């Protein structure tokens, strides 16, 4: 039995005035309490309790030792209380993710989280680049796409897809492309992100397929690109969480579904740490299941729309020009924008 436990037994004996009562309070057997007292007296080399057949009394050494024990145990209890208080989530939490994912998915979680943790505040940094969490003082990132090798701690919460879409009126006028190369003959809306590229990426029987396009209209905001496509200004490529509701409502239709690239993972990422701070741990535990539910709801919406039992008839198709397919580059999400960070 450790020394603090022996002190606790001794103080309880002194407070109750009897070994049997001390045993009941401590939930120990009387024999165990007797052995503990004997061990403490042996360690100190002096009797602490004078025993008679009917009662016990503290010796002079026991009286002095009792006062010291009370102080020590009170300090230990105070230290435990301070540690528990420090373990409460508190302080400022800095988060980062991409612009559209922040507006659509992450930002709505922050207010309810702070309502549950009144000792915390939060800042949300919107950026479509991979922010260095350690160098820029970021506590938590939500990142979209395959993560590079790093020492960061990642927790997967779901997936997103990149989809080619257009308005029903656009498809009625131009037809639906039957191959990604057919996009070259259609008006397109491009999302430039932080890097302008005119390669839209797909997959053909599992092999990466890149198509160079010339968008008629380009914009550096993903939601603006989707809105332009919904208005019939051209076909575009967008992430699933931006278009699922529009597809379900009939305002957009998916294109080239058989050429869609593989889904990209979504992770909550935190800086390397053996033991995350209470504020980081609290947010990750709060956000992870809610992000997973939100992304799963997007998948369910798209699955319901594509259910063959209720699928609409195929729209007229625009034929692709007969030229050699693009060489398969490294696999990447469809769309003109680079892989987006959270």
Say whether pLDDT at 210 is over 70: yes
Do 125 and 217 fall within a single domain? yes
CATH assignment at residue 295: 3.40.190.290
> What is the pLDDT, as a whole number, of residue 307?
60
Do 299 and 151 fall within a single domain? yes
Lowest mean pLDDT among 68-82, 125-139, 310-324: 310-324
Do 98 and 69 fall within a single domain? no
30, 53, 86: which is the final residue of a domain? 86
By percentage, how much of the chain surpasses pLDDT 90?
61
Do 201 and 62 fall within a single domain? no
Domain tally for the chain?
2
Within 8 A by CB and 6+ apart from 51, the residues are: none
Strand intervals (E) in the chain: 49-51, 56-58, 91-97, 120-126, 140-144, 153-160, 162-166, 176-177, 189-191, 199-204, 207-212, 217-219, 236-239, 253-255, 264-270, 317-318
Do 104 and 121 fall within a single domain? yes
86, 115, 148: which is the final residue of a domain? 86
List, for residues 222-272, the tens digit of each pLDDT value: 999 999 999 999 999 999 999 999 999 999 999 999 999 999 999 999 988
51, 71, 86: which is the final residue of a domain? 86
Instruction: Kindly provide the b/e burial profile for residues 47-86, where b requires at least 16 CB atoms within 10 angstroms of the residue's own CB.
Output: ebbeeeeeebebeeebeebbeebeeeeeeeeeeeeeeeee
Do 57 and 158 fall within a single domain? no
Residues spanned by the domain of 152: 91-342
Do 37 and 186 fall within a single domain? no
List, for residues 173-183, the tens digit of each pLDDT value: 999 999 999 99
CATH assignment at residue 11: 1.10.10.10
Do 82 and 95 fall within a single domain? no
> What is the pLDDT, as a whole number, of residue 274?
67
CB 37 within 8 A of CB 9: yes
> What is the pLDDT, as a whole number, of residue 28?
93
Do 110 and 151 fall within a single domain? yes
Do 148 and 61 fall within a single domain? no
Do 342 and 210 fall within a single domain? yes
Do 221 and 328 fall within a single domain? yes
């Amino acid at each position: 039995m450790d020394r603090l436990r022996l002190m606790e037994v001794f103080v309880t004996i002194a407070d109750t005035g009897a070994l049997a009562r001390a045993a009941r309070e401590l939930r120990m057997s009387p024999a165990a309490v007797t052995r503990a007292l004997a061990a403490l007296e042996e360690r100190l080399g002096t009797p602490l309790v004078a025993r008679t057949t009917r009662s016990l009394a503290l010796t002079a050494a026991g009286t002095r030792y009792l006062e010291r024990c009370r102080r020590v145990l009170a300090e230990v209890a105070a230290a435990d209380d301070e540690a528990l208080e420090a373990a409460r989530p508190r302080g400022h939490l800095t988060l980062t993710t991409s612009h559209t994912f922040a507006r659509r998915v992450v930002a709505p979680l922050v207010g309810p989280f702070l309502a549950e943790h009144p000792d915390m505040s939060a800042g949300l940094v919107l950026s479509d680049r991979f922010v260095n969490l350690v160098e820029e003082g970021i506590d938590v990132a939500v990142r979209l796409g395959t993560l590079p090798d790093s020492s960061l701690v990642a927790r997967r919460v779901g997936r997103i897809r990149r989809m080619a879409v257009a308005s029903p009126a656009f498809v009625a006028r131009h037809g639906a492309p039957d191959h990604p190369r057919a996009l070259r003959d259609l008006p397109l809306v491009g999302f430039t992100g932080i890097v302008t590229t005119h390669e839209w990426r797909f997959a053909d029987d599992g092999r990466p397929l890149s198509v160079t396009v010339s968008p008629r209209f380009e914009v550096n905001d993903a939601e603006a690109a989707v809105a332009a496509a919904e208005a019939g200004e051209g076909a575009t490529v967008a992430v699933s969480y931006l278009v699922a509701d529009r597809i379900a409502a009939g305002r957009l239709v998916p294109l080239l579904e058989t050429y869609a690239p593989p889904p990209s993972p979504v992770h909550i990422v935190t800086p390397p740490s053996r033991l995350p701070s209470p504020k980081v741990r609290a947010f990750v535990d709060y956000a992870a299941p809610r992000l997973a539910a939100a992304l799963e709801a997007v998948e369910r919406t798209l699955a319901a729309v594509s259910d063959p039992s209720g699928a609409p008839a195929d729209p007229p198709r625009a034929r692709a020009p007969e030229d050699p397919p693009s060489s398969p580059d490294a696999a990447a999400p469809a769309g003109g924008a680079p892989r987006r960070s959270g």
